[in-house]
Amino acid sequence: MDTQPIPERAPVVRPRRSPWAVRGEWLLELIIRFCGISAVLFVLAIFFFVFREAFPVLGREGFSLTQFLFSSEWYPTSATHVRYGTWALTVGSFSVTALAMIIAVPFGLGAAIFVSEFCGPRLREVLKIVIELLAAIPSVVWGFIGLTVMSKLIVDLTGAPVGVNLLNGGLILALMSVPIIVSIGEDALKAVPDSYREAGLALGATRWQLVYRVLLPAAKNGLLAAVLLGVGRAVGETMAVLMATGHAVHIPLGVLDSVRTLTANIAAELGEAPAGSDHYRVLFLTGVLLFSITFVVNLTADLVIRGIRRK
Amino acid sequence: MSPNTPYCIATKELSLWYGRFQALIGVSVEIKHGLITALIGPSGCGKTTLLRCFNRVNERYGNVTTTGEIRVLGKNIYDPDVSLIELRKAVGMVFQRPNPLPISVYENVVFGLRIHSPARSLTRSALDEAVERALTEVGLWEDLKDRLHRKGTALQLEQQQKLCIARLLPLKPRLILMDEPCSSLDVEGTRAIEELMFALKGQYTIVIVTHNMAQARRASDECLFMLMGELIEHRRTEDLFLTPQDHRTAEYIEGRYG
């Protein structure tokens, strides 16, 4: 480009803005800034309050952190020998989540691949709306379904003595996480540039070869993030698992055993623990444990998603 | 598909509609074996559409209707017994923007072999050999032989485009379609791709769509001029540029429009 000499400028006369406009803009900027950082503040505040309630129990005589983490004896209201071991609850949480993911991941990813690559535009719209509807069902309604429909089915089909158990909770959680996995997984597949599809097709790939040789490698980070967000949903879910898993503090030996999860335990017992008592504080400590678990899961998902963007 | 036909591609009265818009109007063209044939014409004249008919990738948009006949290597590619997979194996395509897959250079080159042959028949040494041969043929071997496990998408654009050509070669295509292969490359890259085209000519039939008339002039043997979905003129490149028969061709190569 040619550089032209810049003509000398006449001094600009700016219309002066009223002081109210200046102040208004300043205020608006302040509000927006606050909105931006509020999320950080809230997370820190929640962590702070939960930890503050939990903290005093750490130094208490007769309480040991190892026992808290690794003992499966949870007798918070025993008259003679109070024990706070959350191992069975942690195992409960993890086993329900793992079972849910074993069911939800193939279903969710399969549905995501179908919606994004195989179905026609009209069917796709219908499916997406229905899947979003599935995500909007409140968890207590899922709990109801677990407690009534699912538990009866399980008793009839497997002959288990009780229908509310690990299998029931896993199925309900799977149904709850599938919509998340589908919608995030579909986004990840849609983010794969169309030029990759054309490249594969022009080389003579079949649709299925295109999916597993081109799309899955290209979208693997996004799909992994979809799965991890599904895991986050399943670990944190409370109401549905409280109603569907049977609520027995017990390390499960099979899918037909009843279990209790960390979340369900807090929800069920906090109302009955006297404020400030050891029991109350231990429940808060369970909250800290849960918080740490979901934090790690979400952080992993986040780092993985960031990994996609960089490429 | 037998190679013993006079023409590599022959279309008869080929018309194509995207929905209700007619993009090709009665195109009859014969493209000879072993030459570089350039498709030129202003934007929207249907040259890319015509190119994309030859391996039927147009069809993925769903709302495409075609009438007429396209014979590639003597076989009507709309016959019901034609396998799209075999067709696309014989007809390679290079796109406007280099589109190597987000896998390693090595895997990009053997991609075609992997999807077209049963896994058991592919030995490590056969694959290694195919990679070396294909990359040598496009002139990338010296540059990339120590970096075969880098991602194909991490290369320079020129190398990416060469890689996109290299990945066609292990399938031994008869015909390579190029859709403005140099439009995202600089002068050096363009020259490299053109030299590569000269090296591949004879062994492969090349059809190239280009916006760049100078490129058509220096890099093709025959030239097709298209306008508004119609084929206006098809002659030897020198003749088309020196003594165009149709006044629309003459005006286009003089740069009056387009």
Distance from CA of A7 to the nearest CA of B (A): 36
Distance CA B252, CA B258 (A): 7
Of B88, B99, B116, nearest to A195 by CB-CB distance is B99
- Segment B213-233, tens digit of pLDDT: 899 999 999 999 999 999 999
Evaluate whether B23 touches B51 at the Cβ level (below 8 Å). Answer: no
Distance CA B86, CA B93 (A): 14
User: Could you give the angle at which helices A166-190 and A216-236 cross, rounded to 10 degrees?
Assistant: 140
Distance CA B250, CA B89 (A): 37
pLDDT of residue A299: 87
Q: What percent of chain A has pLDDT over 70?
A: 95
pTM higher than 0.95: no
Of B55, B97, B103, nearest to A202 by CB-CB distance is B55
- Segment A217-262, tens digit of pLDDT: 899 888 988 998 899 889 889 999 999 998 889 899 998 999 999 9
Residues of B in contact with A195 (CB under 8 A): 95, 97, 99
CATH for B7-254 is: 3.40.50.300
pLDDT of residue B2 exceeding 60, the answer is: no
Distance from CA of B103 to the nearest CA of A (A): 8
pLDDT (mean) for A67-83: 89
β-bridge partners, B80: none
Distance CA A200, CA B154 (A): 18
Task: Give the count of beta carbons closer than 10 Å to the beta carbon of residue A289.
Answer: 17
- Segment B111-160, tens digit of pLDDT: 999 999 888 888 899 999 999 999 998 889 999 989 899 999 999 999 99
Spacing of C-alpha A86 from chain mean position = 21
Evaluate whether B192 touches B107 at the Cβ level (below 8 Å). Answer: no
- CATH match for A83-310 among 3.40.50.2300, 1.10.3720.10, 3.40.50.300, 3.40.50.261: 1.10.3720.10
The residue of chain B nearest to residue A207, with distances taken between CA atoms, is: B85
Looking at residue B221, the DSSP 8-state letter turns out to be S
The residue of chain A nearest to residue B93, with distances taken between CA atoms, is: A202
**Whole-complex ipTM:** 0.87
Q: Where are the domains of chain A?
A: 21-59, 83-310
Looking at residue A7, the DSSP 8-state letter turns out to be P
Tell if the CB–CB gap between B99 and A311 is shorter than 8 Å.
Answer: no
Nearest of A216, A213, A194, A228 to residue A305 by alpha carbon: A228
Say if residue A162 is exposed, middle or buried (CB neighbours under 10 Å; 0-12, 13-18, 19+): middle
Distance CA A81, CA A250 (A): 18
Of B84, B99, B171, nearest to A199 by CB-CB distance is B99
Evaluate whether B181 touches B208 at the Cβ level (below 8 Å). Answer: yes
Phi then psi for residue A120, to 5 deg, are: -70, 165
Distance from CA of B136 to the nearest CA of A (A): 20
Can you read off the two tokens belonging to residue B52? Answer: 């994309």
Nearest of B227, B224, B176, B235 to residue B200 by alpha carbon: B176
Q: Where are the domains of chain B?
A: 7-254
Phi then psi for residue B70, to 5 deg, are: -125, 120
